[in-house]
């Protein structure tokens, strides 16, 4: 008889963070809160540790991971940072911005982190728990969102356990994530131009058409609640779990005040509730397509695809 290994759940206090550092040093998997979503972290310099991320998530091996660093100085050990990258890092790090940069030949990262590409995605997160953790370790952390591949991203420790309990070593509970949507991803080209690959909390413009090919994780279907999702719904059928916004109420509201920041922070929780509901379908009220609303609509389109 095989026994399902238990996943430890700890509060993200000093003792919890110290334990997480120990598990990570030994090559284990830890779900850690960030300001965007919970990440599933492993040491990025170990092929064995990184392989466990793909295994636990059921993630296709062609989809590269984001590497989390303390700051620009640590980032420069793994990638070339041209002027455009330095300006963006100075403006937005620590924060919800990921930069895709040329991988340094001497980076020493596991090749599976970048799925064999000659670029690497780097981000310096702002969440105090992730920052405290990165200070205690001398390696960077590969961390995709802490959910089964293709499923709704996690913004609470409960969401992580619902998806990955028994498949990872530890979850650090730091409460709900503030931004609630994954980081904006921007590729810095050799000529210094910037292409947005994934819209997110920081508005750097709209993604180019071709970005779906370049960011392989940007699949048309993603963030899927496992049942049909109807968008721009102005009313709901009795068998639909209604996700409201502003004056449109529902079984769950993204923001009664019609605030887009609040809606971003609540999006995945409402989708998780809709997924868990007995109703077979989900309907979502229209969300204005400006500011972070663009990133919300990007995620909703993929959830509905
Ligand atoms: O906010 C976030 O970014 C969260 C937290 C945990 O930091 N992480 C996250 O990771 O959203 P994940 O794995 O769910 O999404 C990473 C995205 C994928 O779409 C992947 O294809 C893209 O980043 N990516 C990673 N490396 C890349 C590269 N070298 N070139 C282009 N896209 C890359
Ligand atoms: Mg993800």
CA of 179 to the centre of ligand 2 (A): 15
Rg (CA), the chain: 19
Mean pLDDT in residue range 47-56: 98
Q: How far apart are CA 269 and CA 177, in angstroms?
A: 10
Tell me which H or E stretch contains 195: strand 194-198
Q: Which residue in the block uniquely carries the two structure tokens 């609303």?
A: 293
Q: Is the pLDDT of residue 242 over 80?
A: yes
List beta partners, residue 130.
Answer: none
User: β-strands 141-142, 194-198: how paired?
Assistant: unpaired
Q: What are the CA-CA distances from residue 42 to residues 35, 101, 113, 127, 294 (Å)?
A: 18, 21, 10, 17, 31
CA of 116 to the centre of ligand 1 (A): 14
List beta partners, residue 102.
Answer: 119
Q: Is the pLDDT of residue 211 over 80?
A: no
Q: Where are the alpha helices (DSSP H) in the chain?
A: 14-25, 47-57, 72-75, 83-92, 128-136, 157-164, 211-214, 260-276, 293-304
Q: Is the pLDDT of residue 219 over 80?
A: no
Phi, psi of 182 (to 5 degrees): -60, 155
Question: Which has the minimum average pLDDT: 189-193, 254-258, 262-266?
Answer: 189-193
pLDDT tens sequence across 131-182: 999 999 999 999 999 999 999 999 999 999 999 999 999 999 999 999 999 9
Residue 137: Cβ within 10 Å count? 16
For the beta sheet containing 30-32, the strands, ordered from the edge strand earlier in sequence to the opposite edge, are: 8-11, 170-173, 30-32, 39-43, 141-142, 66-68, 119-123, 97-102, 184-188, 194-198
Question: Any idea which ligand is nearest the CA of 149?
Answer: 2
User: Can you list the domains of the chain with their CATH numbers?
Assistant: 8-198 (3.90.870.10), 229-304 (no CATH)
Average pLDDT of the chain to the nearest whole number: 94
Pocket of ligand 1 (CB under 6 A): 34, 36-37, 39, 63-66, 96, 98, 100, 114, 117, 119-121, 123, 125, 143-145, 182-183, 185, 197, 214-218
CA of 144 to the centre of ligand 2 (A): 6
* Structure tokens belonging to residue 102: 């040329």
Q: Which residues contact 189 (CB under 8 A, 6 or more apart)?
A: 195
Q: Concatenate the DSSP letters of all residues of 143-181 into one string.
A: --BSSSTTBPPPSSHHHHHHHHTTTSSEEEE--S-SS-S
pLDDT tens sequence across 248-261: 999 999 999 999 99
CA of 207 to the centre of ligand 1 (A): 14
36 is in an annotated binding site: yes
Question: Any idea which ligand is nearest the CA of 98?
Answer: 1
List beta partners, residue 76.
Answer: none
- pTM comes to 0.95
Residues within 5 A (CB) of ion ligand 2: 145
Helix (H, G, I), strand (E, B) or coil at 39: strand
Q: Is the pLDDT of residue 210 over 70?
A: no
Q: If you take atom 17 of ligand 1, which residue's CA is the nearest one?
A: 217
Region for 201 from its dihedrals, namely left if φ exceeds 0, alpha if ψ lies in -120 to 50, beta otherwise:
alpha
Q: Quick one: 296 exposed, middle or buried, by C-beta within 10 A (0-12, 13-18, 19+)? A: buried
């Amino acid at each position: 008889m095989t026994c399902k290994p238990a996943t430890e759940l700890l509060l993200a206090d000093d003792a919890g963070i110290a334990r997480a550092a120990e598990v990570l040093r030994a090559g284990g998997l830890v779900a850690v809160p960030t300001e965007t979503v919970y990440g599933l972290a492993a040491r990025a310099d170990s092929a064995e540790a990184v392989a466990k991320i793909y295994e636990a998530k059921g993630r296709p091996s062609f989809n590269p991971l984001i590497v989390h660093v303390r700051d620009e100085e640590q980032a420069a050990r793994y990638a070339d940072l041209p002027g455009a990258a330095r300006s963006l890092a100075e403006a937005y790090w620590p924060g919800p911005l990921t930069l895709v940069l040329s991988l340094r030949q001497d980076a020493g990262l596991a090749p599976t982190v970048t799925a064999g590409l000659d670029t690497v995605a780097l981000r310096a997160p702002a969440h105090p728990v992730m920052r405290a953790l990165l200070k205690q370790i001398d390696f960077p952390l590969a961390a995709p969102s802490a959910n089964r591949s293709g499923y709704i991203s996690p913004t609470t420790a409960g969401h992580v356990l619902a998806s990955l309990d028994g498949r990872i070593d530890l979850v650090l509970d730091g409460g709900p994530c503030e931004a609630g949507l994954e980081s904006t991803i921007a590729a810095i080209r050799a000529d210094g131009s910037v292409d947005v690959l994934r819209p997110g909390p920081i508005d750097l413009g709209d993604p180019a058409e071709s970005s779906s090919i370049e960011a392989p994780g940007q699949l048309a279907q993603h963030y899927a609640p496992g049942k049909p999702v109807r968008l721009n719904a102005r009313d709901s059928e009795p068998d639909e779990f209604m996700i409201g916004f502003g004056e449109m109420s529902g079984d769950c509201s993204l923001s009664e005040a019609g605030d887009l920041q609040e809606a971003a922070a609540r999006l995945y929780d409402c989708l998780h509730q809709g997924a868990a509901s007995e109703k077979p379908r989900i309907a979502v009220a229209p969300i204005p397509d400006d500011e972070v609303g663009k990133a919300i609509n990007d995620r909703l389109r993929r959830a509905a695809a």
